Amino acid sequence: MKDLQRPELLAPAGNYEAFLGAISAGADAVYLGGQKFGARAYADNFDTQQVIRAINYAHLYGRKLYMTVNTLVKEEEFDDLYDYLAPFAQAGLDGVIVQDFGVWGFVKEHFPNVELHASTQMAVTGVYGARLLKKMGAVRVVPARELSLQEMIDIKEKAGIEVEAFIHGAMCYCYSGMCLFSSIVGGRSGNRGRCAQPCRLPYIVHGGLSQNANDRSFSGSDNTNEDDEYYPLSLKDMCTIEIIPSLIEAGIDSFKIEGRMKKPEYVAGVVSIYRKYIDKYLEDPKAPFKVDPKDLDVLRHLYLRTEISQGYYQRHNSRDMVTLSSPGYSGSDDRLIASIRDTYLTGEKKRNIEAYGYFHPGCESMLTLSLGDVSVTVSGQVVQEASKRPLSKEDLAQRIMKLGDTFFELRKEDLTIDMDESDPGIFMPVKEINELRRSACEKLLQELSRKA
């Protein structure tokens, strides 16, 4: 067996709580949308400060963060695009997921350090499209969900580009980015982030594929639910947990979970189960791979339509892909939801750091912060001799350990202060100590982001 590549597990987040749940549950990366230019206009989405905080928090744990800029943008909106993206690029955004070629060129020109990922909204269905995008600077392509696993393998091998593939969640009836249904029937365009999902509604089908009145293979009472409703355009949800080995062996670079409109419990719960089975297979690829039925039940309870499929990876399009008579969703289990909240949705988790402070009269003050193998040092104002009450080690420790709204916490036993305690002692204004601490925390975050 060839060496297996560890795939990125990519989770959705429609709000900050869902983002934290994804990180806590084991996602390697998270994709989210801001207040503009995203294909999920009706998600809670993130304001500017939340996106920046999410970028920093993800990098704190060695994870990545991508932003969706995956709608078609009008000419007059490009004036806003630079101001919208600049703070995120400056904060270390890892990549943008793009549909519009105008946006593509704009990001490439103005933010060359941000990776360009081709959205599934581009409807890339083969090697030639992927090659073109690679020539245009794409690092990764998200092919159309309608492709087989072999077709995705061909794209990766023949185009030489990273492939990100959906592994779980809702499926569209039409190719993403090419559907005008919502726009035509309700004036809400999916290409502007406002899809009304008319494909999930019941329809009356006039006629059928057969002239035989007794043949109900296409439509009729056998395919309606108890309310005599028929859903010919509503696809089953994708669930690939049982074919994880095939997806890993295919060399798919990123396993993408759909669901920026879903609740935080869904995000954390689904991520945790896929994390479990990805790691399980990679730990011993030769061992029999079997998914616990209890875990399948959890996935069904976490907002799956009453029937599921493995998508198009191992089969051609067929009527079995459509729910027909089952538009509803599996109900959530209160105990399951409570368990997920208690385990994964517990807010931000601070990282313990170590610190060394140097404070001697006539010398610049210095503070070193360390987290794992990452260490940074900043210098501040020259330390003065005390003319009145000198600073004690306890005074300095109290100020340095006051980390407030940062992602760090510092225990007293992890702080070393090197200072001159002889008469007359030392003095530093409180604001200068605070600035030294703030600068050190900011520099540590930047270094963690650079190494993420």
DSSP 95-124: EEEE--HHHHHHHHHH-TTSEEEE-GGG--
Question: What percentage of residues in the chain have a pLDDT greater than 90?
Answer: 66
DSSP states of 171-237? --SS-TTS--HHHHHHS--GGGT----GGGS--PPPS-S-S-TT--SSSSGGGS-TT---EEEEEPE
Q: Which of 79, 72, 284 is nearest to 179 (CA)?
A: 72
Residue 328 has pLDDT above 70, yes or no: no
Q: Note the pLDDT of residue 144.
A: 92
pLDDT tens-place string over residues 341-357? 999 999 999 999 999 99
Pairing label, strands 29-32, 308-309 = unpaired
Q: Is 37 or 211 the better-scoring residue by pLDDT?
A: 37
pLDDT grade for 61, boundaries at 50, 70 and 90: very high
Nearest alpha carbon to residue 388 among 364, 423, 434: 423
Least confident residue range of 31-40, 172-181, 395-404:
31-40
Model confidence at 394: pLDDT above 60: yes
Condensed to tens digits (0 to 9), the pLDDT of residues 201-253 reads: 888 877 654 443 344 444 444 555 555 678 888 888 899 999 999 999 999 99
Contact status, residue 23 vs residue 57, Cβ threshold 8 Å: yes
Mean pLDDT computed over every residue of the chain: 89
Extract the tokens encoding 448: 């963690």
Q: How far is Cα 43 from Cα 86, in angstroms, rounded to an integer? A: 22
Structure tokens belonging to residue 106: 């704009």
CA distance 442 to 310: 45
31 three-state secondary structure: strand
Q: Which amino acid, residue 161?
A: I
Q: What confidence tier does 425 reach under pLDDT thresholds 50, 70, 90?
A: confident
Structure tokens at 224: 């309606």
Q: What is the residue extent of each domain of the chain?
A: 8-203+215-344, 351-451
Give the separation between CA 449 and CA 52, rounded to whole angstroms. 12
For the stretch 245-298, pLDDT in tens is 999 999 999 999 999 889 999 999 999 999 999 999 999 999 999 999 999 989
Q: Is the pLDDT of residue 331 over 90?
A: no
Q: Considering the entire predicted model, what is its pTM?
A: 0.89
Burial class (CB in 10 A: 0-12, 13-18, 19+), 360: middle
Mean pLDDT over 419-448 rounds to 92
Which residues on adjacent β-strands are paired with residue 432?
none
Residue 143 has which token pair? Answer: 């092919």
CATH fourth-level superfamily of 8-203+215-344? Aldolase class I (3.20.20.70)
CB atoms within 10 A of CB 351: 15
| Closest-CA residue to 17 (of 348, 351, 404, 303) | 348
Look at residue 13 in the predicted model and tell me its pLDDT: 96
pLDDT at 156: 97
